[in-house]
Amino acid sequence: MRYSRDMIGYGENTPDPRWPGGARIAVQIVMNYEEGGENSIEHGDAASEAFLSEIIGAQPWPGKRHWNMESIYDYGARAGFWRLHRMLKDVPVTVYGVATALERAPEQVAAMQASGWEIATHGLKWIDYRDVPPEVEAEHIARAVELHTRVTGERPRGFYQGRTSMNTVALGCEEGGFEYLADTIADDLPYWHVHNDKPQLMVPYTMDANDMRFSSGQGFGTGVEFFDYLRDSFDVLYAEGEAGVPKMMSIGLHCRLMGRPGRAIALQRFLEHARAHEGVWFATRLDIARHWAKEHPYTPRLRPSQMERDAFVQKFGGIYEHSPFIAERVWDAEMGAIHDTPAGLSGRMAQIFRSASDQERLGVLIAHPDLAGKLALAKRLTAESTSEQASAGLDALTDTERAEFQRVNTEYVAKHGFPFIIAVRDHDKAGIMAAMQARLANDTETERDTAERQVMRIAQLRLQDALKG
């Protein structure tokens, strides 16, 4: 089974985004413009809207218009937009514009463009796509791009559907004209997503630093709460930037929500807080996407989880000495992006090794060659073992040293029933010999456990080489 989700991303060590001017944080503000694109009988939908409004517990009204719901959305267009525009007109902003909403907002679109804001597409309509067939959603995306281009004069370079299906990101990739997709909440930095062997840049969005939580049961009740959350998010990310690991901060706004006066003040206070700091880059999402594509272009890399079975076993079948069954069982089990890293793949291989039968694990131990033994002299070691033994100088022993290794090897095998095994890259020649002599005195149960741990350590080191870069 292939697991589709990437649960590791950049891992412990995130890349340095190298924000312009050495900025410590990139702040990205999104204005969602959805008013006039929401569910409505007048828009040809089956029911009224019920999402992200002031009405507690709102439900769709099948076959009926909802005056209060429509007028809440109207407020966003008539008043909320202009209040936010006055606050943000000098700030780089990305608008997530629903195409049918933009078509009904010529004055607002003109104001967005006069301010130099980026207008990304927010899809054709502000509707839920979870049950929409992929061919219909693809048609909607195409129509959104076409209508957006007619309304604004240029095609959108970014895409955020919002109320997505499991097909949305794939369809966005396949559309082929987007410099970034934003339907992800998976990171604090942009990242490359690969679909059908083609890279697509993802610029993550936010559901937490988002005024949508004014309309949810577990969310913000006052502007003070929203400001506190934005300030704390900024401060943590800013401190990380000062420590050398800069990130981006996304903020999501809606005209009908944040545009209300009791909430808008929170945005004003946040802007003042952020501007009081040095090294803050306010940017559109397109600015960030283009910066990332230049500074961190997509680089193809080996992805074990995507390999065919024969190729995978051929490459990794020798990680556990002469024991390809480990690689075979790894491939046959669940694999995903987490197994495309040395730590992830070695962890899965160790799991498979531990779950093997006692006889199978013993067979892996027995398959290992003696250190500086006859196979090494005859140059009949695997490439991995040859390299490892050479790294510790075991290919250049004196006659006396070789005789001592062979003597201890013989005693060790006679006592325990398998060769002495150690991850030689962790030791020098003297350290290896000292370990051999010390472990020779162990009981076999203890030594069996030690040898198996060393086998897994050897595999980990081999995978670091195999997946380097």
Dihedral sign, CA of 72, 73, 79, 82?
Answer: positive
Which stretch of DSSP H or E encloses residue 191? strand 191-195
CA-CA distance, 259 to 80, in Å (whole number)? Answer: 4
Q: Give how far Cα 91 sits from Cα of 33, 87, 94, 278, 336, Å.
A: 17, 8, 10, 16, 40
Residue 120 · residue 97 · CB < 8 Å: yes
Residue among 140, 148, 193, 368 flagged as catalytic: 368
Contacts of 22 (CB under 8 A, 6+ apart): 279
Q: Give how far Cα 367 sits from Cα of 153, 208, 323, 391, Å.
A: 68, 53, 8, 20
**Catalytic-residue membership of 368:** yes
Query: Which of 246, 352, 313 lies closest to 27 in space, CA to CA?
Result: 246
Q: Is 373 exposed, middle or buried (0-12, 13-18, 19+ CB in 10 A)?
A: buried
46: tokens are 């089956």
Query: Which of 426, 410, 429 lies closest to 418 in space, CA to CA?
Result: 410
Q: Which residues pair with 93 in a beta bridge?
A: 29
Tokens 């981006």 sit on residue: 248
393: tokens are 């100088």
Give the DSSP letter of residue 306. G
Residues with a known catalytic role: 368
